Structure 1
Amino acid sequence: MTPRLVEKEGFAAVVLRLRAEGISDLDLLTAVEQTPRSLFVPPQFAEEAYSSRTIPIECGSFMEGIDLVVRILHHLKVKPGHRVLEIGTGSGFMAAVMGRMAERVLTIDRYKTLTTNAQRRMDALSLRTVIVRHADGSSGMQGEGTFDRILVTAAFNSMPRFYADQLVSGGSMIAPLMISEDVCRLVRLTKTGSRFEREELFEVPYLPVVPLLASYL
């Protein structure tokens, strides 16, 4: 099967699965369709690019299954004009999708290997709206102003308020929280003035956040 056919058939299958869940956001699905996922997965997993399974990548990290990616972004509700902060670049796929909908996406990761590879993919797609940075995201991103949306893909034991403080009024943040030693749940905070509305979404396979930059990778 050719790469183009894998992309086309894989995306069509995803749309059918998500439609059964009630997810049919045209702008989001168009952004996913315009972002060839096979560019982001390791070559040996190319035919799994549009499966719902997690895919291992460099530095002991993983890519979320495509269904989970779309579910998360469906709840994040990125819109044109938004400034987005992503903590945990990984392969860069989610940042690339958001970069097709938002005005600007700043994505950071503690692994230099991951940020270098993600930047290469953004360049290949000519995505100038995505800024990839090698940085420690475990204690906030000061000096970057405020954001309309914040997405965290590493789990904290409690909601990281240092990120919530960087939200504009009306903005929202999605982050995974460790509910117990082996249960991680995605939570959304929506900011109204100085108040936050909290909503628990669904369980996710994220790992606990690791502080500091990686020494070797």
Structure 2
Amino acid sequence: MKSGMIEKEGFAALVLRLRSEGISDLDLLTAVEQTPRSAFVPAPFAEDAYTSRTIPIDCGSFMEGADLTLRLLHRLQVKPGQRVLEIGTGSGFTAAVIARLAERVLTIDRYRTLATAAQQRMDALGLSNVVVRQADGSNGMPGEGTFDRIFVTAAFPSMPRFYAEQLTHGGSMVAPLMISDDACMMVRLTKTGSRFEREDLFPVPYLPIMPNVAAAL
């Protein structure tokens, strides 16, 4: 089967699964359709691009299954004109989708290999409103102003209250939080004044966030 047909059929199957969960955000689904996911996965896993399977990528990292990725982006609720910070670029797929919804995306990863490859994919897709950097995301990005949305894909050991200063009033952050030694919960934190309102979403399989830049990779 030709790759274009695999892409279309994979996306169609994903849409059906998402609709069964009550996710039918047309803007989000259009952004995903415009961002060929198979271009972000290693070639041997191209046929799994739109499945719920976790896909290994370079540097010991992984891509979440398509279903989980879309569930998280649906909860992030990105709107036109917003500035978004993503901690954990990975393949760059989520940043590319967000870029089709937001005004500007700053995405960072501790691995140079991943950041470089993600930037190349953004360039190939003509997404000029995405900035990819290699950086330590354990404390966010102080000095970059405030963001309307922050999306994190590595788990914090406790509530990341230092992020409150990096969110606009009414802004929100979707991030994993370790709730025990071996359990992780995705939470949405909405800024009200100088504090967060917390909403627990669902368990997720993320690993604890690792500080410092991985200079050798």
Structure 1 length normalisation: TM-score? 0.98
How far is the alpha carbon of 1:159 from its aligned partner? 1.9
* Deviation of 1:161 (Å): 1.6
SS of 2:14 mapped into structure 1: helix
CA RMSD, 1 decimal: 0.8
Equivalent pairs counted in the alignment come to 217
Contact preservation (8 Å) 2:190, 2:196: yes
Matched, 1:136 2:136: yes
Amino acid at match of 1:33: E
Q: Secondary structure at the match of 1:179?
A: strand
* Partner in structure 2 of residue 156 of structure 1: 156
Shift of 1:23: 0.3
Q: Distance in 1 between matches of 2:109 and 2:115?
A: 6
2:193 alignment counterpart: 193
Q: Does 1:89 align with 2:89?
A: yes
Q: Distance in 1 between matches of 2:126 and 2:9?
A: 24
Q: Distance in 2 between matches of 1:140 and 1:34?
A: 29
* Deviation string, structure 1 residues 13-68 (Cα, Å, up to 9, x no partner): 00000000000000000000000001000000000000001100000000010000
Instruction: State how 1:43-82 maps to structure 2 within 5 Å.
Output: 43-82=43-82
Tell me if structure 2 keeps the 8 A contact 1:164–1:173: no
2:116 corresponding residue in structure 1 = 116
Provide the residue aligned with 1:11 in structure 2. 11
The Cα of 1:210 is off from its aligned counterpart by 0.7
Write the letter of the residue equivalent to 1:31: A
CA distance in 2, matches of 1:140, 1:9: 37
Contact 2:112 2:215 in 1 (8 A): no
Provide the secondary structure at the position in 1 that maps to 2:150: strand
2-side partners of 1:164 and 1:125: how far apart?
A: 32
Q: 1:19, 1:100 → 2: CA distance? A: 21
Q: Is the 8 A contact 1:146 1:166 kept in 2?
A: yes
Q: Secondary structure of the residue that 1:29 maps to in structure 2?
A: helix
**What SS does the corresponding residue of 1:215 show, helix, strand or coil?**
coil
- Could you tell me how far 1:10 is from its partner in structure 2? 0.3
1:159 touches 1:175 (CA, 8 Å); kept in 2? no
Question: What SS is found at the alignment partner of 2:180?
Answer: coil
Identity, % of aligned positions = 76
Please give the TM-score of this superposition, normalised by the length of structure 2.
0.98
Structure 2 CA distance, aligned partners of 1:99 and 1:206?
23
